[in-house]
Structure 1
């Protein structure tokens, strides 16, 4: 059975991932209801309306048209099961590098989901008007690039891969995006 995702909108963005043209999926059914939310249309229940296979087709078409990244906005604060989020990330990351935007304040969970799903970038942290968004030096939000490296135990035996998160939030604050 295919995963159904509550997609509110799709499009192209030039500013959400530094130096990339990203095809985005806005995922609805957000459960957060943050004050001053910049995407209130994503709040509340939305009927899942888009099969994962349709998302893959849209991402492939966007790649053919010049997009070089995929962005999932509202990726972890909706009603999707964690295993579905991981599956969506894995499927889309085969097409293009994927960024997961989460409005969650559970950075550890977000990191775990992003790394299990082979994401290339992660934005984590809810929007708090008093702290500002990524462009504010006082923001609670973080934007990470994720590298995957071989991991070894203390005796040098290969144990798989590990995700290494590099904080790139400063790129938004300098206007270098």
Structure 2
């Protein structure tokens, strides 16, 4: 069972969305230089559809997207939660920040509106760096995705 540690309304994780970021624990990636080491342990509360319902009731129209920050230890469960959100709240977008280089073939990528892939590699930088190995994709028409990582880059580096 996935567990979450905390949540926060964020404005920079998903371009053009007001996003409720759900920080998921028990991260198996353990990237050197990680800024969220507190998520490495198996801590927090179970993340269930009922818990997501509570978040959506609490934040209501103030958010346009829910983004799962982690969950790489149980990708099929993250996928199930994404399907649930889309079915129960058709207007809500769903994102997933994964530290893996590829999404598991057991996951239906079309269940997500946004997917970030790539471990954090300190010398390459985060999404804001033009040298980053990480990529954020937005679902395009059908099951295709478009790389929108450039949206994080400023005009100067």
What range is the shorter-chain TM-score in? 0.7 to 0.9
| Aligned length in residues | 152
Q: State which of 135, 141, 149 in structure 2 corresponds to 1:142.
A: 135
Deviations 1:81-107 (A, max 9, x none): x332221111122321101100112x2
| Structure holding more strand per residue | 1
Structure 1: segments with no counterpart, 5+ residues = 150-162
TM-score (norm 2): 0.87
Could you tell me which residue of structure 2 aligns to residue 74 of structure 1? 70
Give yes or no for the alignment of 1:42 onto 2:39. yes
Q: Give ranges in structure 2 of 5+ residues lacking alignment.
A: none
What residue is the counterpart of 1:9 in the other structure? 6
Tell me whether 1:56 sits opposite 2:53 in the alignment.
yes
1:129 is matched with which residue? 122
What residue number does 1:164 align with?
144
Which has the greater radius of gyration?
A: 1
For the Cα contact (< 8 Å) 1:37–1:127, is it kept in 2? yes
Q: CA RMSD in A?
A: 2.0
TM-score (ref. length: structure 1): 0.77
In the TM superposition, residue 68 of structure 1 has moved relative to its aligned partner by 0.8
Whole-angstrom distance in 1 between the partners of 2:44 and 2:9:
23
Deviations 1:97-150 (A, max 9, x none): 101100112x2537x62515x11001000000010000111100000001242x
Deviation beyond 2 Å, 4+ runs, structure 1 = 44-52
**Is the contact between residue 117 and residue 134 of structure 2 (CA under 8 Å) also seen in structure 1?**
yes
